[in-house]
Structure 1
Amino acid sequence: MNIPTKVVITGAGATSPYGAGVTALWEGLKSGRGCMHPVEALQSLPMVKTKVAATVPDIDYSYIPRRDRRSMSRMALYAYAAAKEALLQAGYEKAPQGLGFFMGSTLNSISKWMEITGYCHGNHLELVKTSDFLQIMNHSPLATVSQALKINGPCVGASDACATGLMNIGLAYLAVKAGFVKQALCGGTEEYHPMFSACFDIMQATSYNFNDKPNEACRPFDANRTGLVASEGCGLLFVESEESAKARGAKILAEIIGFSSNTETENMAYPSAQTLRECMQNALADAHIEPQAVDLLNAHATGTIIGDIAESQAAQTVFGSGVKINSLKGHLGHSMGASGGLETIACLKMLEEGVLLPTQNLEKLDERCAPLSYVRTQEQRPVNIIVKNSFAIGGNNCTAVLRSPL
């Protein structure tokens, strides 16, 4: 009888509004320090109600060779830094032979697209450089980072809006489990542009009633929430078979024991509680665990009215009212394609340190949200299994199940 391949995580890398590296991310989250701020470009747009975002601070990327850096957009720079960190933690100075790479983003570089659009309007297309084009390809970060780091295995870039990061982690999990690859980098990246805020504002899905208090603007499950705060960054994991990790003596950070994905077909913008319930139930079935074994549900919960209600109702149906649940969007904002990767890294740290982070700015629970055990203050307790959700506009949903190393 064939023994199923176990898939483990041995490395992680992050670029976030808290700065460069996993340590900066985790210290920022644990401290509850705010990273949201007014966006100058939004102040002059009276029709856009939201005025705040969370962006990556200035980071020195000069260590990246210029021949590689000149073809990289901001989100590719974020991804290079995160990939390098994940590789190093996994024990590699250079990418191992045949390494897979699963990474995407919601959109490519809007900043670069706007620059090229300016050339078009002025009838100066001859000014477009090869490096400009390389920055606006749909798989630009995946391509430029794999070239720079000599990642020569299969490179696959799923783009599933807000579910992108976790979807690519799930694809890597499935690829390792099936023997398609032995090791892989996986996650998502994103760069902020005011267009993100404007588009979600049109859909009435942004936070606008705390513009004067940016760090209180994103309020998952809170009665006074009005929507999300756009953000950016990159979160990547190094995953491999347990056999591979043990053979080379790598430290195992966690095991991915289950994954599921499904699609909402009734509404492009908001998933139903039923679809979300099925996604979580299928992930638990893939993990071969019962709902009561879960120590924490790390919700997608972005702070939108309908989305938070639906997810909480689905969670109650699957886990019952006693499940511990939190969202990290109140800390980080919604980094779109990067959110699944960054938040999964936070889940790894919660497993490692035995701590549950609170949902920032959850002061008064919306009575329409299901009565769950919402984490409101930092809790120190044994944490063995975490379920992680990511749901996307367009109907793409996914759930992963993480377990502490046995």
Structure 2
Amino acid sequence: MNRVVITGAGTINALGASVPKTLEAMREGRCGISQLEIRDVERLAIQIGGQVKGYEPEEAFNRQQLALYDRFTQFTLIAAREAIAQSGLEFSGDLAARSGVVLGNSGGGMTTLDDNYRSVYEDGKNRVHPFVVPKLMNNAAASHVSMEFNLKGPSFTVSTACASSNHAMAQAFQMVRSGMSPAMISGGSESMLCFGGVKAWEGLRVMSKDACRPFSANRNGMVQGEGAGVFVFEELEHAKSRGADILAEIAGFAMSSDASDIVMPSKQGAARAIKGAIQDAGISREEVGYINAHGTGTAANDKTESAAVADVFGAHADKLMISSTKSMHGHLIGGTGAVELLACIMAVRDGIIAPTIGYEEPDPECALDVVPNEAREAQVEVALSNAFAFGGLNAVLALKRFA
């Protein structure tokens, strides 16, 4: 089995339009959640989100491209360009033939869908643009990344709601570890912050009207975000042979299904995924220093996740640091695990733990060290990234510091 390392990272999200800007915001505990700037926002009960502000698509793409790229695809390509540029890889010949892209996404082109529903149902038009289907399909981003960077190997999209990115990255990791591919592009994206997207989530009654406060006793729901995170996963010897800068090592992963309820999380299912990732990485529980929590800020998730962590780690749970960066950038649904992996890289590479901001009151049912409100310096050898999705689908990744 090959060792797998990360040699490139890229992102755009509510905290910043690049990895350095995002990590700086995480270190400062900055909040990217604010008033939404979308059409018909006054008709929404929920009017806040982790929206990418100040974004001008015309600066990154030409008119022909914008006719094909939904907002989630645009975000993905911006993040992929940053990640691949950092890696220094150029895909040609055998490397191009064997390398691919696996991305996570839940809603597809929601902005395109919303705009065209309006056109047909509200404006009464009988025709839509001929590129609506290729623009809104979930695999559009993966396909455009493969075309822009000449990736001719295994390429597809994983859609498992809020665990989409972690499931996608697990698949890409396994392809490199098994020797199927020398390098894979992986991560995820989402852009649901349009009227229809927010209105649908309102119906679940799990949304906060003011802030995302994971693990705090006075939390009152989740907040949506948008953006993308993309990484270059590379076989270790391949990376070393070309002198690549290695950000971290992916050590293991695990996936599980609750097989119990479509929306309510299961402590047992989450615990199986956490325990499985530790076992797959070949490490002990005591080596884990940080967990980037799923941490949505809902009563059900936070209590269940805390209980699962306590069950898996036992006495070591008191020594763990666990934080939810959703408090800063919002919940990116299918793209959330990808952006959150940046916090894990920062923990193992830079020794900085991103905080859980908005933490105001301790909750005895979430009695963990949630790194409240301020970032912390600490040496971390292993970090876990949790993702627990509607449908009871769980995926956990384990990252190691690369020395």
TM superposition score category, shorter chain reference: over 0.9
Map residues 129-208 of structure 1 onto 2, 5 A cutoff.
Answer: 129-191=129-191, 192-208=193-209
**Unpaired segments of 5 or more residues in structure 2?**
none
Does the alignment pair 1:9 with 2:10?
Answer: no
- Count of aligned pairs between the two proteins: 392
CA distance in 2, matches of 1:63, 1:219: 34
Deviation for aligned residue 1:266: 1.0
Deviating above 6 A after TM superposition, structure 1's stretches of 4 or more consecutive aligned residues are: none
CA distance in 2, matches of 1:51, 1:68: 30
Counterpart among 32, 55, 62 of residue 35 in structure 1: 32
Deviation for aligned residue 1:355: 1.2
SS in 1 for 2:78: helix
Deviation for aligned residue 1:130: 2.7
Does the alignment pair 1:231 with 2:225?
Answer: yes
**Unpaired segments of 5 or more residues in structure 1?**
211-216
Does the alignment pair 1:299 with 2:293?
Answer: yes
What is residue 92 of structure 1 aligned with on the other side? 89
TM-score, normalised on structure 1? 0.92
Any conservation in 2 of the 1:197–1:206 contact (CA below 8 Å)?
no
CA distance in 2, matches of 1:194, 1:298: 30
Any conservation in 2 of the 1:14–1:233 contact (CA below 8 Å)?
yes
Deviation for aligned residue 1:267: 0.9
- Amino acid paired to 1:44: E
Deviation for aligned residue 1:223: 0.8
CA distance in 1, matches of 2:46, 2:313: 34
CA distance in 1, matches of 2:62, 2:96: 21
CA distance in 1, matches of 2:260, 2:133: 36
Map residues 313-352 of structure 1 onto 2, 5 A cutoff.
Answer: 313-320=307-314, 321-322=317-318, 323-352=320-349
Cα deviation digits, residues 86-112 of structure 1 (max 9, x gap) = 101111356751321001311112221
Counterpart among 51, 55, 75 of residue 51 in structure 2: 55
Counterpart among 383, 389, 394 of residue 397 in structure 1: 394
CA distance in 2, matches of 1:71, 1:49: 31
What is residue 213 of structure 1 aligned with on the other side? none
CA distance in 2, matches of 1:226, 1:60: 33
Provide closer, same or farther for how the CA distance between residues 399 and 51 of structure 1 changes in structure 2, counting only shifts above 3 A: same
Counterpart among 304, 308, 328 of residue 310 in structure 1: 304
Larger deviation, residues 358-367 vs 296-305: 358-367
- Indicate the percent of aligned positions where both proteins have the same amino acid: 30
Cα deviation digits, residues 179-234 of structure 1 (max 9, x gap) = 221100101111122334333332221112x3xxxxxx000001111110000000
- Amino acid paired to 1:236: V
Any conservation in 2 of the 1:42–1:51 contact (CA below 8 Å)?
no
SS in 2 for 1:374: coil
Counterpart among 42, 58, 64 of residue 44 in structure 1: 42
Provide closer, same or farther for how the CA distance between residues 379 and 114 of structure 1 changes in structure 2, counting only shifts above 3 A: closer
SS in 1 for 2:283: coil
TM-score, normalised on structure 2? 0.92
- Amino acid paired to 1:300: H
Map residues 201-216 of structure 1 onto 2, 5 A cutoff.
Answer: 201-208=202-209, 210=210
Any conservation in 2 of the 1:196–1:230 contact (CA below 8 Å)?
no
Does the alignment pair 1:288 with 2:282?
Answer: yes
Any conservation in 2 of the 1:354–1:382 contact (CA below 8 Å)?
yes
